[in-house]
Amino acid sequence: MPNQYLDVLRADLHPATRHHRATKLQCHVGNLVSAAAVVTGIGLLALSTACTSNPPAGDVARTPTTSATTTPPVTSTATRSRPQPSPSLPSASLPSAKTVYVFPIAGCKASASQSHHDYPASDIFAPVGCEFVSPVDGRVDEVTTVDRWNPKTNIGRDRGGLAVSVVGVDGVRYYGSHLSAITTGIKPGLQVRAGQRLGLTGNTGSARVTPPHLHFGISWPTPANHWWIRRGTVPPQPFLTAWRNGRQLSPAPTVLKTKRTYGPDTTCRSYC
């Protein structure tokens, strides 16, 4: 037998050559199976590591070429990851909970005055014994439980008779006076909710000489006994009208603006 045929026969019988050729055949078959799996939607899970094995010495590794018209693999819905949630919006972009306001007299027909003498406030006329309720969520500020008003002296700090003030969650103070009674348990620091009863309408203080009514004032919070601020600094009429009609109108911006223009708070300025 010629020597060149013997060399070919020896190469074919060499174990490394036989292993390499068998590996190539397995890879070829594996690629066909993978392509069929992609088409049927099963998806290709992994490639055999044998397809990336180095060829034996003497063989040349060839880089497979990809046609420009090759169809991209189809992803199976069974293995598709769930969509990730969108990043949270900044807290400033989220809508904040609205403050709830209610008309301060419940269970009775009441009529609020559209003006007030000497300083901003409203006299809400109603029969004795109607519920005076907190117009907003907040905490009880000051409570006056003794009627010290004397018509002969008419001292400003005593005109309100029995009274309760509440500092709302909106930072505004709400004051009601001339009460006939204060609800049991109402005391400074108590947390209250909008519509919670604080007392009953009446005619204590200077209301002894007028029809019974609730004196209602809006102001900014102050240290205790600054009654000339507590009695009212902002006209409450537009807010009372809104709350009676179910509209949520906050006096906070108006109160803040008024406080800035009021200047230093040292003592009573009018009708003292």
Instruction: With H, G, I as helix, E, B as strand and everything else as coil, classify residue 202.
Output: strand
Could you tell me which CATH class the domain 105-246+254-259 is placed in?
mainly beta
- Asked whether residue 112 carries a pLDDT value surpassing 50, the answer given is yes
> Residue 61 has what pLDDT?
37
Asked whether the beta carbons of 161 and 205 are under 8 A apart, the reply is yes
Which pLDDT tens digit goes with each residue over 137-169?
Answer: 999 999 999 999 999 999 999 999 999 999 999
Task: Give the tens place of pLDDT for each residue, 246-257.
Answer: 999 999 999 999
pLDDT exceeds 80 at position 272: yes
Q: How confident is the model at residue 97 (pLDDT cuts 50, 70, 90)?
A: low
235 CB-near residues (< 8 Å, 6+ apart): 116, 120, 121, 122
Provide mean pLDDT across the span 100-116: 95
**Would you say residue 111 has pLDDT above 80?**
yes
Instruction: Using the predicted structure, report yes or no on whether residue 81 has a pLDDT greater than 70.
Output: no
> What pLDDT is stored for residue 75 in this prediction?
35
Q: Tell me the average pLDDT across 106-123.
A: 93
**Arithmetic mean of pLDDT over the chain:** 76
**pLDDT for 98:** 85
**pLDDT higher than 70, residue 120:** yes
Question: Which residue in the block uniquely carries the two structure tokens 């102050």?
Answer: 222
Contact assessment for residue 125 and residue 175, using Cβ atoms and an 8 Å cutoff:
no
Q: Render pLDDT for 185-242 as a digit per residue (tens, 0 to 9).
A: 999 999 999 999 999 999 999 999 999 999 999 999 999 999 999 999 999 999 999 9
pLDDT, tens digit, 9 for 90 and up, residues 40-79? 333 333 333 334 444 444 343 333 333 333 334 333 333 3
Burial degree of 113 (CB within 10 A; 0-12, 13-18, 19+): middle
Cα separations (Å) of 190 from 70, 153, 158, 226? 75, 33, 23, 20
Domain ranges across the chain: 3-52, 105-246+254-259
User: Cβ(164)–Cβ(186) under 8 Å?
Assistant: yes
**Between β-strands 131-133 and 197-201, what pairing exists: parallel, antiparallel or unpaired?**
antiparallel
